[in-house]
Amino acid sequence: MPFEIIRNDITKLGVGAIVNAANNALQQGGGVCGAIFAAAGAEKLQRACDMIGRCETGQAVITKGYALPAGFVIHTAGPIWRGGGCGEKELLYACYKNSLELAKANNLESIAFPLISSGIYGYPKDQALQVAVSAIGDFLLQNDMHVSLVVFDKAAYSLGEKLHSAIKAYIDDNYAETHYIPRRAAEGAMPPGAADADFGMYEKMAFDAMPLAVESFRAPMKAQAAPMGHKRGLNDVIARLDETFSQRLLRLIDEKQRVDADVYKRANIDRRVFSKIRSNKDYRPSKNTALAFAVALELSLDDTRDLLMAAGFALSRSNKLDVIVEYFLSEKNYNIFEINEALFAFDQNLLGA
């Protein structure tokens, strides 16, 4: 996908360029900076930095990657946190923007960032994350590049407390755990730890639930029943198939008068994947890809369900990812990058191809 948040060691990534959170003097430092110098070959990388001389806060410069798997190192000097009233946000945004523009100018197809300024420079991690997601997202809406935001571990990653609390409350209210209902006649099983004396209760629960379950299954079947005297054959059923996912998606794009490139970028989908969808009416996407397009097209929950159904999926209250995406759709927040930020924080897969 064009933008992903990953837990990894940035020095191990074989991308076009990795970004070094540098100091103004471009001298080897500690933390991520020190690790990058050590992995690249400190002497060679320091010599290249000395030839450049200096990097002003918010600006970016580039050197070779030397012994790193990455071809280049882009050095950017982040702001020191001074309370938020000294232009820190604008300077941090510029770090990402200028690094991305420098990668683009050097025809690089991929780049990996650390969370700039969130270490010894003291920038609050949740605010640093918001700036990173905003700057990277803005760039990707206009450009094609694979961008990774790399964190070493979960402790280094922090979602804003207000948003985290709101999503957690929504999950608590809407997430349905899978519950065990035994079926003695079919399986002869009981929940782990249940005593024989309790079995009658579980058995009664199962059989009490059966009429309701059967009736709920029959209801839609009745509605679809063929008229008296007419027996539908397999050919009749196949001839009445609904739209495929690809057909429905392309129709929605046309109805909303959207441009293809705008849609796949807002869905965090690679251009080549979208090309496959457009050229193959029977394309079968992953559920996360289908959800990504629902977000990009700013669909209602009902329209999202219809699009998912065309792909063979459904929104489920027993799937935490679905509940989180549903939260954002209900809040009319269609920023795919912010949604992925939240999904990462809750240990879910990200949206996109």
DSSP string of 198-222, one letter each residue: GHHHHHHHHHHHHHHHHHHHHHHHH
d(CA 138, CA 6): 19
Same domain, residue pair 153 and 12: yes
Q: pTM of the full predicted structure? A: 0.78
Supply φ then ψ for residue 337, to 5 degrees.
-75, -35
For 161-203, what is each residue's pLDDT tens digit?
788 899 999 999 998 875 444 544 444 444 444 444 444 444 4
- Cα distance between residue 289 and residue 353, in whole Å: 5
Q: Are residues 152 and 33 in the same domain?
A: yes
Are 146 and 186 found together in one domain?
no
Comparing CA positions, the residue from 148, 115, 22 lying closest to residue 73 is 22
CATH number at residue 68: 3.40.220.10
Burial class of residue 303, CB neighbours in 10 A (0-12, 13-18, 19+): middle
Please give the pLDDT value at position 207.
40
Q: Are residues 9 and 154 in the same domain?
A: yes
Query: Are residues 79 and 223 located together in one domain of the fold?
Result: no
Same domain, yes or no, for 268 and 329?
yes
Same domain, yes or no: 75 and 178: no
Provide the residue-wise pLDDT of the chain in tens; the chain has 353 residues. Answer: 699 998 889 999 999 999 999 999 999 998 899 999 999 999 999 999 999 999 999 999 999 999 999 999 999 999 999 999 999 999 999 999 999 999 999 999 999 999 999 989 999 988 999 999 999 999 999 999 999 999 866 655 667 778 889 999 999 999 887 544 454 444 444 444 444 444 444 444 444 444 444 444 444 444 444 455 555 555 554 455 579 999 999 999 999 999 999 999 999 999 999 999 999 999 999 999 999 999 999 999 999 999 999 999 999 999 999 999 999 999 999 999 999 999 998 999 999 96
**DSSP label of 82:** S
Q: Are residues 154 and 165 in the same domain?
A: no
Same domain, 197 and 120: no
Task: Please report whether residue 352 resides in a domain.
Answer: no
Residue of 56, 77, 78 whose CA lies nearest to 123? 78
Predicted local distance difference test score (pLDDT) of residue 160: 76
| Contact between 317 and 323 (Cβ < 8 Å) | yes
Query: Which tokens hold the place of 352?
Result: 């996109």
CA angle 186/189/195 to nearest 5° reads: 140
Tens digits of residue pLDDT in 213-245: 444 444 444 444 445 555 555 555 445 557 999
Per-residue tokens: 135: 């700057």
Residue 257 counted as domain residue: yes
Which pLDDT score, from 0 to 100, does residue 242 have? Answer: 78
Together in a domain, 125 and 190 = no
Nearest to 285 by CA among 250, 256, 325: 250
Shared domain for 266 and 148, answered yes or no, is no
- Reference 29, options 18, 9, 45, 52; nearest CA is 45
Task: Determine the structural domain holding residue 12 and report its residue range.
Answer: 3-158
Are residues 165 and 154 both part of a single domain?
no
Domain count of the chain? Answer: 3
Which two structure tokens, joined as six digits, stand for 149?
């935001």
